[in-house]
């Protein structure tokens, strides 16, 4: 008989303050942005990590917090609306603004943040790649917290499993499923963060675009791997060949990531940072 792990029923609302509810979902986004901001400050203070490559200053990091927050929220929401449930939102356009009900797409948030970074870099006349490298270095923190919030809600649960261990999620039926949110938190968040940290300590920030390329490639591969355990969105289901929308949207990320890796590696070695 399979071992059924009971779902730890956690109230998605952390605290009620009269008519206002503080939800774990919102706290995950806030904590991800603030912790990412603190980590970005620590990275720009270490000149040895950047070598001769352009390095953002502390003021740029402060601006990045605001720009990234706008890009994540607007891009993530629009990405979900356009790619995952366009028919519903065409019929219920006002629901686009009901972000508290869930419905954010990482790929949309990634695109929104990229656009916000481009605008910020042009306004401050600093290197776009330096900002994208810095941002990609901290993104796994938000991914880890966001997937934990998905687990607490609960949403985006895994596929039905006949493995020796499974979890029954409330609202997902009586069959055991993979806790795919935890798989994604570990692989997309913790593992990628540690791999990028190792690359940064070896001088990756000294090659503009390398951290960006590594993140995009690693995330795309990790997301595709996790999609084999995650239940597809019910309004979409499986696409051709058993692929999911998350898989298809990850393929351009991998291609873009490989492009940035090759581009960065062709830069002159004089721009390479010294290992920390």
Full pLDDT tens readout for the chain, 276 residues: 567 888 887 887 877 777 777 788 788 888 998 999 999 999 999 999 998 888 899 999 999 889 988 988 888 889 888 888 888 888 888 888 877 666 778 888 888 888 999 999 888 888 899 999 999 999 999 999 999 999 988 888 999 998 888 999 988 888 999 999 999 999 999 999 999 999 999 999 999 999 999 999 999 999 999 999 999 987 788 888 889 999 999 999 999 999 999 999 887 654 444 444
CA distance 206 to 269: 9
Domain boundaries, the chain: 21-271
Q: Yes or no: say if 231 and 177 are a contact pair by the CB < 8 Å rule.
A: yes
Binding site annotation covers 23? Answer: no
CA torsion angle for 93, 81, 260, 207 (degrees, to 10)? Answer: 70
Cross-strand bridge partners of residue 132:
none
CA distance to 57, 60, 98, per residue, from 44 (Å): 7, 10, 36
CA separation for the pair 274, 205 (Å, rounded): 10
């Amino acid at each position: 008989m399979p071992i059924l792990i009971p779902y730890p029923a956690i109230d998605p609302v952390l605290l009620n303050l009269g008519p206002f509810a503080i939800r774990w979902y919102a706290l995950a986004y806030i904590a991800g942005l603030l912790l990412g901001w603190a980590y970005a400050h620590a990275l720009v203070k270490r000149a040895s990590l950047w070598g001769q490559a352009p390095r953002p200053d502390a003021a740029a990091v402060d601006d990045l917090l605001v720009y990234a927050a706008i890009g994540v929220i607007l891009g993530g929401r629009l990405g979900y609306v356009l790619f995952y449930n366009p028919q519903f939102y065409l019929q219920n356009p006002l629901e686009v603004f009901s972000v508290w009900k869930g419905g954010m797409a990482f790929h949309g948030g990634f695109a929104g943040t990229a656009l916000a970074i481009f605008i910020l870099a042009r306004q401050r006349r600093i290197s776009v790649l330096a900002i994208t490298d810095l941002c990609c270095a901290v993104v796994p923190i938000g991914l880890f917290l966001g997937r934990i919030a998905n687990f607490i809600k609960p949403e985006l649960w895994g596929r039905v499993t006949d493995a020796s261990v499974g979890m029954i999620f409330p609202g997902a039926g009586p069959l055991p499923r993979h806790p795919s949110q935890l798989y994604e938190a570990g692989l997309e968040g913790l593992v990628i963060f540690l791999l990028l940290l190792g690359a940064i300590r070896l001088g990756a920030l000294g090659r503009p675009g390398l951290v960006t390329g590594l993140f995009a490639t690693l995330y795309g591969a990790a997301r595709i791997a996790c999609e084999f355990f995650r239940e597809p969105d019910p309004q979409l289901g499986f696409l051709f060949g058993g692929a999911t929308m998350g898989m298809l949207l990850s393929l351009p990320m991998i291609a873009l990531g490989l492009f940035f890796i090759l581009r960065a590696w062709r830069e002159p070695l004089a721009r390479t940072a010294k290992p920390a």
